[in-house]
Structure 1
Amino acid sequence: MLVTVTGGTGFVGAHSVAAIVRAGHRVRVLARDPALLAPALAPLEVPPGAVDVAAGDVTDEAAVAAAVRGADAVLHAASVYSFDSRRHAAMRAVNELGTEIVLAAARRAVDGPIVHVSTVAALFPAAGRVIGEDSPVGRPRETYMATKAAAERVARRHQDEGAPVVITYPPALLGPHDPKLGDQVGRVRDVLRGLMPIWPLGGFPIGDVRDTAELHARLFTTPPAGPARRFAPNHYLTTREYLAALREVTGRRLPAVHLPARSMFPIGRLADLAQRVWPWHIPAEYGALYTCACATRVAPDAGTTGIDPRPFAETAGDTVRWLRDAGHLTARQAGSASPAPSPVPVH
C-alpha cells in the first residue's frame, strides 16, 4: 500500500512514517521543505528509498492533489501545534484550511483509509467528566484548540457523508527524536532549565509519540470498518504527577509552586501579548494554562486500540535522555536520567 503522509517532517508525522514503513507500506510525504525530511527520519532508522517526497504545502490545492494522486491511503498529520501567539495565523491556515483541502483531495483520489490526526484538545472543554468517541466537538477559547476543533468538524462532516475517514486523538506527546522541538518536548527542556517555577493546578492526558505512531500504522494494516474514532494510548496526569515523573528520572528537586489555573489566566494573556514583540520564547502561555483548567480524562473504553500505553516514567526518561544527547540540555540539567525509573502513579 502507498500511503501519502502530510506533516511527515514533524514529531507525530516522522514517527508515524517510520511505523508505517515498518508495517510494510510505502510512503510518500508532502513536505513544504523537502530538505527537512531526511534529518527527521534518519534517527528513526527508516531505510533509504522507502519514502518518496513531494514538495508542497497543505494549503496549496494543486500540490495536495499531486501528492495524493495514485496513493491507496492518506495520513493527514500536518498541523501547527503551538501556544505561541505569534503563530495564530499559521494555525488558522494549516489546521483549518489545510484540513479542508487535504481531506477533500483524499476523498477524490483514494479508496483506502483517510486518517485525520486530531487531538484530545479538540473535544475540550467537555460537558462531562470524561471524553470518548461520541463526545461533541469542543468550543474552546484558545486559538490552537479552536483551530483543531474547526478541523475536527471538517473531518466529522466527511464521516457523516460516508467517506472512509478515521479520526485519531493523540494526547499531549513526549518521546525522543522531536525534529522541531515542539511545544511539549520544549516544555520539558524549559522545566529542566529552571524556567518554569510556577505551575497551574489541573492536568491533562499525555502519552508517548511512539504509541501514537503505532496506532497510525495499524490503521493502514487493519482499517476499521466504517467511520471510526480512535484515541491514542494515554495516561491522565496532574501537573504534580507530571513534575514528580521528571524529578524521578532526573534525580533533581525541581522546586515549583502550584496555583489554580484560572487565577493564572491574566499572566498568560499578558505573556501572549508580550510574545508578539519579544523575540525569545516566553514559557508562560495562556493556551497551556487553559488546557490544564479544562482538560478531562479519556474514558477507559474510548476507541479501543489494543495498544497499552508505555509507563510515563519510561517516556519521560527517554525524552530527557534524548534532549541531553541532542545537546538541548546539559548533563547537569538532565540529572541522572536513570535507565529504569520506577513508575509514578497515573489515573
Structure 2
Amino acid sequence: MLVTVTGGTGFVGAHTVSELVRAGHRVRLLVRDPGAVDAAVRPLEVPPGALDVVVGDVTDERSVAGAVRGADAVVHAASVYSFDRRRRAEMLRTNACGTEVVLTAARRAGVGRVVHVSSIAALFGPGVRVIGDRSPVGTTREPYAATKAASEAIARRHREEGAPVVISYPPALLGPHDPKLGDQNRRLRDTARGIMPLWPAGGLQIGDVRDTAALHAALLSPDVTGGHFGPGHHLTTAEYVAAVREATGRSLPAMFLPATLLAPFGRLVDLVQPLWPWHIPAEYGAIATVGAAVRVDPTASTLNLKPRPFTDTVTDTVRWLTETNAIPHRKPPS
C-alpha cells in the first residue's frame, strides 16, 4: 500500500512513518523542508530509500494534490502542538486550514483510507471531565485545543459526507527521538533539569508516541471505522514527577498547588510571553488542562492496543534526552 503522510518530520509523524515502513507499506512524505527528513527518520532505522518525498505545505492545494495523487491511504499528522499563544495564527493555519486542504484533496483523488490525527484536546470543553467514543467536538477557547477542535469538526464533516475517514485521538505524548523537541518532551527535560518546582495539582492523560504510531498503522485496516484513542495512562502531576525522579535518580523538589491559584500567573505569562524572547514554561493553557484532569473513558476504543508501562516511557525518553545532551549527564561522586 502507498501511504502519503503529512507531518512526517514531526514527533508523531516520524514514529508513524517508522511503523508504516516496518509493516511493509511504501511511504510518501509531504514536507516543507526535505533536509529535515533524514534527521527525523534515521534514528528510527528507516532505510534511506524507503521514502518518496514531495516538497510542499499542507495549506497549499497544488502541492497537497500532488502528494496524495495515486496514494492508497493518507495519514494526516501535520499539526502544530503548543500552548504558546505566540503561535496561535500558525496553529489555526496548519491545524484547521491544513486539514481542510488535505482531506478535500484526498477525496478528489479517490484515496481509499484517510487517517486524521486529532487529539484528545479536540474534545475538551468547560465542565468536561471524561471523554470517549461519543464525545462531541470540544468547545474550549484555549488556542491549541480550539484549533484541534476546528480540525476535528472538519474531519467529522468529511466522514459524514461519506469520505473514508477514521480518526485517532492521541493523548499527551512522550518518547525518544523527537525531531523538534515538542511541548511534552521539553516539559520532561525541564522537569529533569529541576527548573519546574511548581506544578498545578490535577492530572493528565499521557502515553508513548510509539504506541500511538502502532495505532496509526492499525487504522489502515479497511475494517476499522470511527474514532480510536491512543493508548495511555491517566496520571496525577505528583505521579508524573515521581516517575521522573525514579528515572533520573534526582530528588527534583516540587510543590503542587491548586490550578486555580496558578491560573492567574499563567494568564500573566501569556501576556508577557510575546514581549519575552525565550519560552516561559508556565502557560495558562497547560495549567488549565492539567487542572481539568480530563480522563479518557476506559471503555473507549484503542483497538485493544495496550499502553506500555509509563515508567518505561519515561526511562527511555530520559535516556534519549541525556544521550542528546538535552539533560546534563550526572557527574559521579568524587
Instruction: Please indicate, yes or no, whether the TM-score normalized by the shorter chain is above 0.5.
Output: yes
Other-structure match for 2:64: 64
- CA apart distance, 1:275: 1.3
Three-state SS of the structure 2 residue aligned to 1:30 is strand
Distance, in Å, in 1 between the alignment partners of 2:165 and 2:76 is 10
Amino acid at match of 2:265: I
Aligned position for 1:322: 320
Amino acid corresponding to residue 140 of structure 1 in structure 2: T
Cα distance change, pair 282–215 in 1 and its aligned pair in 2 (3 A): same
Corresponding residue for residue 82 of structure 1: 82
The structural deviation recorded for 1:332 is 2.2
Residue 126 of structure 1: how far off its partner (Å):
6.6
The aligned residue for residue 6 of structure 2 is 6
Letter paired with 1:207 = G
1:34-73 to structure 2, matched below 5 A, reads: 34-73=34-73
Partners of 2:260 and 2:147 lie apart in 1 by 22
1:93–1:276 distance in 2 versus 1, CA, 3 Å: same
**After the TM superposition, which segments of 4 or more aligned residues of structure 1 sit over 6 Å from their partners?**
none
* 2:200 pairs with 1:179: no
Q: What is the aligned length?
A: 332
Cross-structure match for 1:248: 246
Shift of 1:125: 2.5
8 Å contact from structure 1 (residues 126, 296) kept in 2: no
Partner Cα distance (2:261, 2:126) in 1: 20
Q: Which segments of 5 or more consecutive residues in structure 2 lack a partner in the other structure?
A: none
Inter-partner Cα distance in structure 2 for 1:110 and 1:306: 29
Which position in structure 2 is the counterpart of 1:276? 274
CA distance in 2, matches of 1:167, 1:295: 22
From the superposition, tell whether residues 331 and 16 of structure 1 become closer, same or farther in structure 2 (CA, over 3 Å). Answer: same
Matched, 1:223 2:222: yes
Q: Which amino acid in 2 is paired with 1:4? A: T
Alignment of 1:157-196 (within 5 A): 157-196=157-196
Q: Structure 2-normalised TM-score?
A: 0.97
User: Amino acid of the residue matched to residue 279 of structure 2?
Assistant: H
Query: Shift of the alpha carbon at 1:91?
Result: 0.3
More displaced 10-residue stretch of structure 1: 36-45 or 258-267: 258-267
Q: Distance in 2 between matches of 1:127 and 1:280?
A: 33
Across the aligned residues of Structure 1 and Structure 2, the Cα RMSD in angstroms comes to: 1.4
Distance 1:34 1:180 in 2: 15
Q: Could you list the per-position Cα deviations for residues 64-87 of structure 1 after superposition, in whole angstroms to 9, with x for gaps in the alignment?
A: 111101111000000000111211
- What is aligned with 2:151? 151
SS of equivalent residue, structure 2 residue 267: helix
State the distance in 2 between where 1:273 and 1:127 align: 25
Distance 1:288 1:127, change over 3 A: closer
In structure 2, the CA distance between the partners of 1:316 and 1:282, relative to structure 1 (3 Å rule), is same
Secondary structure class of the residue paired with 1:276: helix
